[in-house]
Amino acid sequence: TTEPQLFYDMVHYGHSNQLRQAKAMGDYLIVGVHTDAEISKHKGPPVFTQEERYKMVRAIKWVDEIVEGAPYVTTLETLDKYNCDFCVHGDDITLTVDGKDTYEEVKRAGRYRECKRTQGVSTTDLVGRMLLMTKAHHSNIVSLHYQQHTDNFGKGPKGHSPWTGVSQFLQTSQKIIQFASGKEPQPGDTIIYVAGAFDLFHIGHVDFLEMVYKQAERPYVIVGLHFDQEVNRYKGKNYPIMNIHERTLSVLACRYVSEVVIGAPYAVGKDLLDHFKVDLVCHGKTEVLPDKDGVDPYAEPKKRGIFRAIDSGNNLTTDDIVQRIIENRLQFEARNQKKEAKEMAVIEAMKKREQKEQGEAPAQTAH
């Protein structure tokens, strides 16, 4: 049994990938998720409430069980309480408020394993992308103001921490294989098709997909993802915030999804419905814009009588999330600068220790 300790102020495919790796190290994966209060104390206010985060983590297909309100510091006592053989964490540094390694005790006991951080994504990077988006839609005066914010997001001074940078995600077929279910529809399955952007995969999407999943006894849910250009056509601004490769992994990590069409046509036509032998097509409460030629993209499934509008009871949109995050931006920024300073201090200390061990005179650092 493995237990990664996760706070997740925003759940993204990088976290899902860590959970995938953690699950592969053992047989049963228990995930500890922190409360809002606990995160605020250590990291600054989270974007999502604990209830939303519990639900998001439960929706990730490699998770067997979650522990609500897990302590920030993983102790041997916690591991024993949940019968865990070891705990897993990413290969970045996590420090407590007083600058100590959060995992010191379990490391000493040999009950700590590490998984690789997903290249190309971090909460900080995603927030940076959102801030860039708002920056692009304001007058020049406001732009300068936003420019200062976005520059602080991993693109700041030369001495920035290697753990808090903005990078570019590189998709590989291997990654898709790792995330894909590999299951084909079985006789007796109801094949359900849904389409959209599923950008910044969030709790609104999870609630919708869970509702879609519940439409049949044996559902096989296929999600059609529109290419970036298509999404930008109907969403405008700088959408999508996550590119098609990132959105593919985000959706594949969800336990309600069996398959993803990477770059689905906007109009749900005859060819697609026949090819996948679709029994049911669902759409949520978001507005359906006509296709480029002015036609309803759901005309064909409606004609066949297999279209169903779904109300998940959750009205959260990607727009709302971007708003939430931007309102949080100053706190985020403060958090990020503090985190960066903390990490830089650790790196300095490591350097000094190495120099001491090598018996060199300490090099002068310019501040």
pLDDT digits (tens, 9 = 90+) for 26-48: 999 999 999 999 888 877 778 88
Residue 265 belongs to a domain with what CATH number?
3.40.50.620
Q: Are residues 42 and 84 in the same domain?
A: yes
Q: Are residues 291 and 227 in the same domain?
A: yes
**What mean pLDDT is reported for the chain?**
85
% of the chain residues with pLDDT over 70: 84
Q: Are residues 106 and 145 in the same domain?
A: no
Rounded distance between C-alpha atoms, residue 256 and residue 59, angstroms:
8
Q: Are residues 84 and 65 in the same domain?
A: yes
pLDDT in tens, 189-211: 999 999 999 999 999 999 999 99
Q: Are residues 127 and 105 in the same domain?
A: no
Q: Say if 28 falls within a structural domain.
A: yes
% of the chain residues with pLDDT over 90: 59
By mean pLDDT, which of 2-11, 24-33, 264-273, 281-290 is the weakest?
Answer: 2-11
Structure tokens at 308: 């169903």
Rounded distance between C-alpha atoms, residue 199 and residue 301, angstroms:
24
Q: Are residues 102 and 199 in the same domain?
A: no
The residue-averaged pLDDT of 8-24 equals 89
User: In the chain, how many domains are there?
Assistant: 3
**pTM, whole model, 2 decimals?**
0.81
Residue 114 pLDDT = 92
Residue 343 pLDDT = 79
pLDDT in tens, 211-233: 999 999 999 999 999 999 999 99
Q: Say if 315 falls within a structural domain.
A: no
Q: Say if 24 falls within a structural domain.
A: yes
Structure tokens at 107: 């490391």
By mean pLDDT, which of 79-88, 131-140, 255-264, 342-351 is the weakest?
Answer: 131-140
Give yes or no for residue 96 having a pLDDT over 90.
Answer: no
Rounded distance between C-alpha atoms, residue 351 and residue 167, angstroms:
25
Q: Are residues 232 and 282 in the same domain?
A: yes
Q: Are residues 6 and 107 in the same domain?
A: yes
Residue 252 pLDDT = 98
The alpha-helical segments, DSSP class H, found in the chain are: 13-25, 36-43, 50-58, 76-81, 104-108, 123-135, 140-152, 173-179, 203-213, 228-235, 244-252, 270-275, 299-304, 318-327, 329-358
Q: What is the DSSP letter of 60?
A: B
State which residues form the domain around 202.
173-309
Q: Say if 367 falls within a structural domain.
A: no
Confidence of residue 156 (pLDDT cuts 50, 70, 90): very low
